[in-house]
Amino acid sequence: MSLKPTVLIAEDEGALITLLRYNLEREGYRVLEAQDGEEALLVAAEEKPDLVVLDWMLPQLSGIEVCRRLRGRQETRNVPIIMLTARGEETDRIRGLDTGADDYLTKPFSMTELLARLRAVMRRIRPSLAPDTVAIGDIEMDRAAHRVRRAGKEVHLGPTEYKLLDHLIQHPGRVFSREQLLDAVWGSDVYVEARTVDVHVGRLRKALNVEGVRDPIRTVRSAGYSLDDAAMAS
């Protein structure tokens, strides 16, 4: 039996399935697929996934109907569901939440955003199943092994830089002030000067600076720092 959390992807766009599968497997999930609504119900009943990523527009049965039926069955009643909707389906979106989806994302969405939502749902519902591996862009963090890799190469971090990265990677794209980073990494009861944060961010940057790859940490003047995969991707 696999100890990896299982995610069912119910989606009919082949390219998106491939992309989702790649990213979810990389993040430590076991991935199942269903390309229409009927199949989604069948796979869900047979395999009892830990989480379902459900597209709104599916052949045979719509995502909303699949959602309703999953909620109506004893064995899938509590399975977390993240709904994918297309732009402009505002009312549908709200109905989706009423029907019992735990979260939703509007297409096109960033993979980082989806993975962050997935982790949040997994943590909330089954903390023991949340994977220990986090990835953003070409940075991979294995919390169980306490290891970091960038573009496939091992990165050696001091304990403070490791904690900094761990905090930033939880909230990709979000800007943290020096004070917020101090609280998160050093703790609020320790007196550390704000510029200490700059020193450690500098070290983290240097460590992550594998040859030929972009700086993933964005400095926002007078605001703080963020870890940004958009900066890495372009």
Residues binding Ca ion (CB under 5 A): 12, 55, 57
Q: CB of 35: closest distance to Ca ion in angstroms? A: 9
Q: Which residue of the chain is nearest Ca ion when measured via CB?
A: 57
- Among residues 16 and 151, whose Cβ is nearest to Ca ion? 16
Question: Is the CB of 27 or the CB of 55 nearer to Ca ion?
Answer: 55
Nearer to Ca ion, 12 or 142 (CB): 12
- Closer of 63 and 224 to Ca ion (Cβ): 63
Report the C-alpha dihedral over residues 1, 66, 84, 128, rounded to 10 degrees: -30
Closest to Ca ion by CB, 66 or 164: 66
| Smallest distance, Ca ion to C-beta of residue 55, A | 4
**The two three-digit tokens of residue 108, written as one number:** 């096109």
Under a CB-based contact definition with an 8 Å cutoff, are residues 105 and 112 in contact?
no
In a 3-state reduction of DSSP, which class is residue 218? strand
| Residues paired with 218 in a beta bridge | 226
Stated as kind and residue range, the H or E segment containing 150 is strand 147-150
The answer to whether 78 and 49 have CB atoms below 8 angstroms apart is: no
Q: Which is nearer to Ca ion, 85 or 226 (CB)?
A: 85
Q: Nearest distance from residue 36's CB to Ca ion, in Å? A: 9
Considering the complex, what minimum distance in angstroms separates the CB of residue 226 from Ca ion? Answer: 32
Beta bridge partners of 7: 31, 51
In the complex, the smallest distance separating the C-beta of residue 84 from Ca ion, rounded to whole angstroms, is 8
Number of residues in the chain? 234
Strands (E), 114-223: 133-136, 139-142, 147-150, 153-155, 217-220
Quick check: helix, strand or coil at residue 7?
A: strand
Q: 159-170 and 194-208 are packed helices; what angle lies between their axes, rounded to 10 degrees?
A: 90
Minimum CB separation of residue 58 from Ca ion in Å reads: 6
